[in-house]
Every structure is written in C-alpha cells, then in structure tokens.
Amino acid sequence: MIKRMCRFPPIQTFWHLQMVAQGVVLGLVAGMSLLFHGEVRGDFIITGIVTAFVTVALVKWVVLRQMTEALAHEEQVRHRLENEIERRRQVELALRASEERFRAIFQQSPMSCQVLRANGETIQVNRSFCRLWGLELEDLQRVGYNILNDPEARAKGIMPYLERAFAGHVVEIPAAYYDPQVGVGEEIGQARWVRAFVYPILDDRGAVLEVILLHDDITGQKMLEESLRQAMDQAEAANQAKSDFLAAMSHEIRTPMNVVIGMGDVLMETALDEVQRGYVARMQTAGNNLLELINQILDFSKIEAGLMYIVDGPMQLAVVLKEVHDLLRVVTLGKGLELKFHMDERVPAWIMGDSLRLKQVLFNLLGNAIKFTKQGFVQVAAEVVEGETAMLHLTVQDTGIGIDQKKLDAIFEAFTQEDATITRRFGGTGLGLSLSRSLVGLMGGTIQVTTAVGVGSTFRVILPVRETAAPAAFVENKMPALQEQAPIHSLRILLVEDSEDNQILIRTFLKTTPHRLTVVNHGGEAVTSVQAEKFDLVFMDIQMPVMDGYSATRAIRRWEQEMALPPLAIIALSAHALEGEAERSLAAGCNLYLTKPIKKQRLLEVIQLFGERLAMNKPTSPQSSANSTELPPAVSSD
C-alpha cells in the first residue's frame, strides 16, 4: 500500500514539503542562535533538528492516516461498483433469458397469438397464428390490416368486445365462425370456429400500450359437438323407432289376445261338460301365460329402451302383500305347499312407491319360489331394518331346490336360468329375475339372494322407506265386488273399434246385460255419432284408420265446450301398453285408460262404476274422475 501511496502525486508532494520544512526549521534555529548569542550554537542546531523531525513525523502520521482512510473508502466504492456492474449484468442476462423464454412460448404456443398496438395495428404474430389463418405478419402489414377496421369483426358483432379491450379491460370474445379471406382479400386460409381472449398491457398511468389477442381454434370441438348432436338425433330416432315398434307389437299381439282370452271367458259361461270345461280352462291358462310372457318381453324392451318409468304414490304395503298372497295362495294349495305371510309392526301403514311395479316384482319372486319348491313352504315377509337410513326388506323365502353359488350372477341375466335342464323341467323364459332387478333398481333399491342347493333360497328386496300419510280421499272398501253391486239402469254405450273380432267380443260381453251398444269403426264415425245421438259411455279404441282415438276424443271435447254440454265419459280401450300411453289418453280428454286384453268382469265393473256416477249426477270430467274414483286414471287391465 505504501508503494501505491507513494505513486500518488499528493504523497510525492508531501516528501518535497518535508525536506523544505526541515530546511526552514534549521534556518530558524540558526537565526535565533545568532540573534540571541551572536553565534550559531551547536545545541540550538540539535534542538532545531529534533523539532523539525518531530514536526514532520506528526504531519506525516496525520496525512498517512487520512490517505489510508481515503484508499479504504475508494476500495469499498470500487467493490460496490463491481457488484453493481455484476448485478446489472445478471439482470440483463435474466431479462434476455426471460425474453427468449417468452419468445419461445409465444412462438411455440398452440394458441394463436397476435400483438397489437393501441391503435389496432398488428406488430407481432406467432406461428400458430400463421397456421390458423394462413397469414404472415408481412401479409397483414402489406394490406394495412387494422382489427378496429375489420369488416368481419363488425359483421360478427364483436366490435363492442374489442372496444372494451382497447379501453383496458380483459375480454373474452364468444365463439364465432370466421373466414380469414375477409379483410385480406386473398384466397388463403380456411374458415374456422374461433373463440378469442383479449389482454391489454398497461403503462404506469393505466394507458393501453399494447393488446395481446389470443385465438382459440375450437373447430374440432364444434365438429365433435355436431357429430355428437347427429349421433344423439340418430339415437333418439332409433329409440323412437324402437318405441314405435314396441307400440305396434303391443297392439298387434294384444288385439288377438283380447279375443282369445275374452272368448274363453264367454265360453266358460256356457253349458259345458267336465271334459270341455277342462279344455277351456287349459286354454285360458295357456292364454294367460302367453299374456304374461308378452308383458315381460314388452317390459324388458321398455327398460332397454329407457321407456320404463316408476310412478310413485301413496300405497298400503300390507294391502299390496295381501293381494299378492291371496292370488298365489290357490297355486300353493294345489301343490301342497304352505304360503306364509309376515308383516313387521314397524312397517308404516302408508309408504311412497309404485304399487303396480312392486306387485310385479313380488309376483315374479313368489312365482319362482312356488315353481321351484316341491314340498315345504314359501314365505313372504316385510320388515324395517334400522341403520343410517331406515330400509324396507321384502323377503321371499322357499324350501325349494336352491341355486348353485356359481350361477348366482347368471340368473339375473336376461333369458338366462341356472342351466338348460331347469328350462326343460320347469319352463319359463329367464326374464323374471332380470326384469325384477331392473324394476327394483328403478325404485332405488337392490335385490340380494342367499341360497343352498337342496335347502332353498331367500330373495331379499331392499328399498328405502318413505313414510307418508294416507290420501285425503282414501276410503276403505270403496268398490264392492261385482256380485254385490246393485243393478243399474240401462246405459247407452258407444264402442269405437276397428277390429271386427273385438266388436263381436264386446257385444258378447254385454249380451246378457240391459245396456244398449252402438258400434262404429273409427274415430270420425265416433265424432259424428256423439254429435247425432245421446250416449252415456264411450269405449274408445286408440289405433284406428281414418281418425285415431286420441284425435276423436279431442274433437268430442271441443264440440262439448262449444255446445256448453257436460263432458261424456270416454274410456280409452287400447292394445298399447307402453309407459306414457295412459298420460296421453288423459291429456287427450279420456276419463280412464284400460289395456287389452280386458276381462269381462273388469269391463262390467267399469260400466257399473260410471253408471253409478250417472245415477248420482256426478261429473265425469277427466279431472274429477282421477280424484273421485278408486280406479286410477291410468290403469292396466289384465
């Protein structure tokens, strides 16, 4: 450091001053010696020399200290400068790396990016922009493209969005179909579905410096949506075709079945010997089995087509179970089996559910239990099992042949039984359990089974318990049995039916009654007849030539309103058995919906009910009918 200091000009000057100071001090001492003593004395000279050296040493120490501090400060400043230079170099490197990173992201981004000045001119685009629109930056600059003057942007109605963006707001522009030729004037690029996002870049004062416009090409998404829509339309068309096919099959099968079973009922009322009566009984049994098979196939098809619906309503579970028990009791007695019935006292009196579908499930399970049980008992029981949620357990237990554990999953598949031997020994189609599981699933429940070969099986239907109050209009035993009903006066009945066989069947049903029957062949004739004559009751077929039953019913209801006449009781009598048909009949203006084949007793019960209403001057409008009769507005008659 001393050498460095010595090289500094101030230090060199200091050495010169030191020599001058020493000479001056010595000169002063010599002068004082001559002045006071008249001669130059040696001791004065020595004193002067010592004083000069001390003075010079003191000055030297002070100056050296100040210079050392100055050099130390200079070193600190130099280090600070070096650090600042290094920091700025690192900042520049980071900035350069950031710019390169942004440039790479900008150029490699799959989303089209366009950078605009505040006046709307394009100053930068990325590769995705060029691929999307088929345009380069030079193309836009060559034609003087300005997005704020783009006629297509104005035509698409997106200019308000751009104006908001250039005012400093982040904006999403809805998807639109763009043609890149518009505004550029050259045959390049392809039309696209594009959704855009606009992000303004602001300065410190909030003024817009630049705007980044991002284009999201959703053409593929739109094409996928369109293909999905077309596929959905095709699926709906196929579903509708299947629904139409099921409706047609239901009509075409049930129409002859109505005659077969109906004529069998009429034949049973004639004078037959025991052998003949046995033949007719077997024919009726076969007809009813065929009808049950048809119903199961149609129900299975409806579930597959998504046309099966659960109709919830208040029901008495005890009554439902008792009806099933009583109907199957005769079958168990014929096989020498005991049919047990148990009802847990904790089961609510009224619960919400679809009583018709629940009966169907229980009939299937109990029917199987009885079919596969040679001796012992079959039991149906109901209990409530408490837990996080109270569940209703409906159990069907038998002491039958049981099921192989390996086949438990297979028995719930459509058209499947445990094995082919079972099919030959016991018959059946294998639809019952599959249909039951589907129906229970639609009701929000499950079916469980425990079984052992040679011991028996237990099927357990588990459903949520939804307790409810009894309907306000509920009255016990509202409809007495037919044999207990008092005779009613003769009714004038109009039958609208295009099938000659069904016309003969209904005539035969009413042959021994006091009622007067008029028959017409289609809905057009029905409208004319109602307007020309007075009738008490109309049985209206649905599918007919010229005019169908729904159209005829609507026409009759309009005529009644125009003439201010009370509504005539119209009962839909149809071979259609699909879900929704009952609702369609009510919407058309019918009072009741019955499905073919219809039993003679059922037909006479309905006539008796509406005859009593007429005798009591009760209204017969669809609305009042639905609320005042025990028969539901949409009833399926076996």
pLDDT in tens, 507-561: 888 988 899 999 999 999 999 999 999 999 999 998 888 999 999 999 999 999 9
51 exposed, middle or buried (CB, 10 Å; 0-12, 13-18, 19+)?
Answer: middle
pLDDT tens string 627-636:
333 333 333 3
Residue that is written with structure tokens 């409208």 in the block: 527
What was the pLDDT predicted at 32?
Answer: 63
Residue (of 349, 343, 353, 339) closest to 383 by Cα position: 343
Q: Of 500, 38, 541, nearest to 259 (Cα)?
A: 500
For residues 105-130, give the mean pLDDT.
84
The pLDDT value given to residue 393:
93
Give helix 432-442 / helix 274-304 axis angle, nearest 10°. 50
| pLDDT (0 to 100) of residue 113 | 87
Average pLDDT score over residue span 279-295: 73
pLDDT greater than 50 at residue 267: yes
Q: Which long-range contacts (CB under 8 A, 24 or more apart) does 366-371 make?
A: 366/324, 366/328, 366/396, 367/328, 367/432, 368/432, 368/433, 369/396, 369/397, 369/398, 369/400, 369/457, 369/459, 370/328, 370/331, 370/332, 370/335, 370/337, 370/339, 370/398, 371/426, 371/428
pLDDT at 472: 61
| Nearest-angstrom CA–CA distance, 283 and 538 | 31
pLDDT tens, position by position, 180-201: 544 443 444 567 788 888 889 8
- pLDDT for the residue 515: 92
Q: What is d(CA 29, CA 383) in angstroms, rounded to the nearest whole number?
A: 136
Distance between CA 75 and CA 496 in Å, rounded? Answer: 118
Cα 165 from Cα 153, distance rounded (Å): 14
| Least confident interval from 162-166, 408-412, 435-439 | 408-412
Beta carbons of 442 and 308 less than 8 angstroms apart: yes
Q: Which of 32-46, 122-136, 137-151 has the lowest mean pLDDT?
A: 32-46
pLDDT of 215: 84
Mean pLDDT of the chain: 77
Q: Is the pLDDT of residue 441 over 70?
A: yes
- Rounded to an integer, the average pLDDT of 238-261 is 72
User: pLDDT per residue over 584-608, tens digit each?
Assistant: 888 889 988 888 778 888 888 889 8
Give the mean model confidence (pLDDT) for residues 215-228: 85
How long is the chain?
Answer: 638
Q: Which of 65-69, 80-84, 476-480 has the highest mean pLDDT?
A: 80-84
Order of all β-strands in the sheet with 338-343:
338-343, 377-385, 391-398, 456-464, 446-452
pLDDT for the residue numbered 25: 61
> What local confidence, expressed as pLDDT, does residue 404 receive?
79
d(C-alpha 88, C-alpha 35), whole Å: 70
Higher local confidence (pLDDT), 48 or 198 = 198
Task: Note whether 494 and 529 are within 8 A (CB).
Answer: yes
159-169: average pLDDT: 85
- What radius of gyration, in Å, describes the C-alpha atoms of the chain? 52
Comparing C-alpha atoms, which of 291, 205, 206 is closest to residue 255?
291
What's the mean pLDDT in 295-320?
A: 75
Confidence category of residue 571, pLDDT binned at 50, 70, 90: very high
Q: pLDDT tens digits for 378-398?
A: 999 999 988 888 899 999 999
**Contact indicator for 464, 410 with CB cutoff of 8 Å:** no
Assign 249 to helix, strand or coil.
helix
Please classify residue 616 by burial: count the beta carbons closer than 10 Å to its beta carbon, then call 0-12 exposed, 13-18 middle and 19+ buried.
exposed
By three-state DSSP, how is residue 634 classified?
Answer: strand
Two tokens, residue 134: 């088929």
